[in-house]
Amino acid sequence: MGNTMQIIKSNKAQFEYDIHALVKAFYPEWELKVLTPDSVIKNKKILEIPPIMELSFGDEEVVLKVYDRLHNYKNTYSWNHADQVEQAAYKNTFKRFLYTSLREETGISLPWGNLTGIRPTKIAMTMLEQGKSEEQIAAFLKEEHFVSDEKTALGIAIAGRERKILSTLHYEDGYSLYIGIPFCPTTCLYCSFTSYPIGLWRERVGEYLTALEKEIDAVASLYQGKILDTVYIGGGTPSALSAAELERLLGKLRCTFDFDTVQEFTVEAGRADSITQEKLRVLYEYGVTRISVNPQTMKQETLQLIGRQHTVGQVIEAFRMAREAGFDNINMDIILGLPGENAADVMHTIEAIKELAPEALTVHSLAVKRASRLQQWIEENGVTAYNNTEETMQIAAKGAADMGMVPYYLYRQKNMSGNFENVGYSKEGKYGIYNILIMEEMQTIVALGAGSITKRVYPDGRIERSENAKDLETYMRNIEEMIERKRRLLG
């Protein structure tokens, strides 16, 4: 069936996100659209496609009809909900019905069951805060959401560790700071983030930093008296900036904010082809405590395929330069399920990283974003060209354990290969605090730069957002408007 558009028709406009997410988890190769009576259809040809599934919501019953690849009727599943009245319970029970129907239809059990959100550990974290025992949490995850024993144990262990790590942060009178640098040496095949080729924008980086400095001044004024807990500079690739540009940015941050309370200062050094001794010296001298040197894979052929124009040798050299510069908290990112890679390739990558002995390892399961060039590559080469498996996840987990690391944060993404997760592993005391904060949404994060999103967390748990323009020209031209949005949210 390849990547042919598949249609699910529903007679009622509700739960479209959950329907799409669950069906996509069982059939990752499908390009999927859920149509309801309220759907706005731009491409009228979609209406001519026979549905692969039909959902009928009635007063007392929900019926799911499934059709085969030739769109001939195949199976019917039904759920009588005459006694189900509460809307919240109705939605959860519907997701249970849809999950069990698709499980029966495919013979597949998903590792995270019917959980469709990106933060599965948030359930365990919330229940721990409520005083629930690990046994009660495990029973809830397995019985209500069909989460596997292994993922249940992983989620509970991470939630407990996160609580301990975050116990020293200031929630009501503190905040964290994110600085976005939207430049990269080149755009990777799988990337959908806000990033621009540094070569085309080299002459205007200074203009971008000037706009960023205006935001920095505004936030410092708005949050004067608040405690700054963590600072994270991401991208893009922050190390795509020159040493002088990095010094300008870090110097501005140091002069503007009180770093005496900062528990973690992270910069994603990122790609090996952007790292130099001079840049590392600047980062170290300005007090950066944690950096990332991200290979994604240690297989040269894959690096070339995904558009990372550096060699495995350059990754190793960049890591060694970071060590020589004085860094004792280095994270390395890898991606499982990259095109053409198998278990042997993952084993090779893990063994190469073990020789370097970083303090942290972040294991991503490939997520195929519609905005990335990888989506086009898959359509041209077939879905079997990329795959993540339980075996490769276990190889990575064992490699992290061999290096003395434990899992400390976890999140999921839409369209993730194998319906798995991204897991951060770290040695004791080398955890990425900001990574936990961005997932658990327990502290206000003020985000500066193009494409960044500020999230204000209120004492009652309510969250409000303010988004900066993704387009670089728009961000720089309308920086005063971006600042005014922050004043309205944070003031």
Residue 122: inside a domain, yes or no?
no
Residue 320: inside a domain, yes or no?
yes
Burial class (CB in 10 A: 0-12, 13-18, 19+), 260: exposed
Task: Mark whether 57 and 205 lie in a shared domain.
Answer: no
Which pLDDT score is estimated for 417? 60
Strand 453-457 to strand 463-467: parallel, antiparallel, or no bridges (unpaired)?
Answer: antiparallel
Residue 154: inside a domain, yes or no?
no
The 10s digit of each residue's pLDDT in 44-96 is 888 889 999 999 999 889 999 999 988 899 999 999 987 665 766 888 899 99
Q: How far apart are CA 84 and CA 79, in angstroms?
A: 11
Task: Mark whether 99 and 206 lie in a shared domain.
Answer: no
Q: How far apart are CA 126 and CA 128, in angstroms?
A: 5
Q: How many CB atoms lie within 10 A of CB 375?
A: 18
Task: Mark whether 97 and 188 lie in a shared domain.
Answer: no
The whole-number average pLDDT for the span 451-461 is 94
Residue 148: inside a domain, yes or no?
no
Least confident residue range of 189-198, 202-211, 339-348: 189-198
Q: Which of 65, 92, 108 is the last residue of a domain?
A: 108
Which amino acid belongs to residue 181?
A: I
Residue 142: inside a domain, yes or no?
no
Which pLDDT score is estimated for 420? 79
Question: How many CA atoms does the CB half-sphere of 203 hold within 13 Å?
Answer: 1
Q: How far apart are CA 210 and CA 340, in angstroms?
A: 43
Residue 127: inside a domain, yes or no?
no
Cα-based distances in Å from 277 to 59, 236, 309, 326, 448: 68, 20, 19, 11, 27
Task: Mark whether 184 and 38 lie in a shared domain.
Answer: no
Cα-based distances in Å from 162 to 168, 232, 269, 337, 463: 11, 18, 25, 27, 20
Residues 106/66, Cβ–Cβ less than 8 Å: no
Task: Mark whether 230 and 83 lie in a shared domain.
Answer: no
Q: Is the pLDDT of residue 33 over 60?
A: yes
Task: Mark whether 183 and 101 lie in a shared domain.
Answer: no
Q: Which of 82, 108, 134 is the last residue of a domain?
A: 108
Residues 124/151, Cβ–Cβ less than 8 Å: no
Burial class (CB in 10 A: 0-12, 13-18, 19+), 172: exposed
Task: Mark whether 74 and 184 lie in a shared domain.
Answer: no
Task: Mark whether 100 and 190 lie in a shared domain.
Answer: no
Length of the chain: 491
Q: Tell me the backbone φ, ψ of residue 84, rounded to 5 degrees.
A: -90, 110
Average model confidence (pLDDT) across the chain: 90
Residue 139: inside a domain, yes or no?
no
Number of domains present in the structure of the chain: 2
CATH number of the domain enclosing 307: 3.80.30.20
Task: Mark whether 323 and 179 lie in a shared domain.
Answer: yes
Identify any residues that bridge with 233 across adjacent strands, giving them in sequence order. 179, 267
Residue 151: inside a domain, yes or no?
no
Least confident residue range of 129-138, 188-197, 435-444, 473-482: 188-197
Q: Which of 39, 74, 108 is the last residue of a domain?
A: 108
Could you list the residue range(s) of the whole structural domain that residue 187 is in? 168-483
Task: Mark whether 193 and 58 lie in a shared domain.
Answer: no
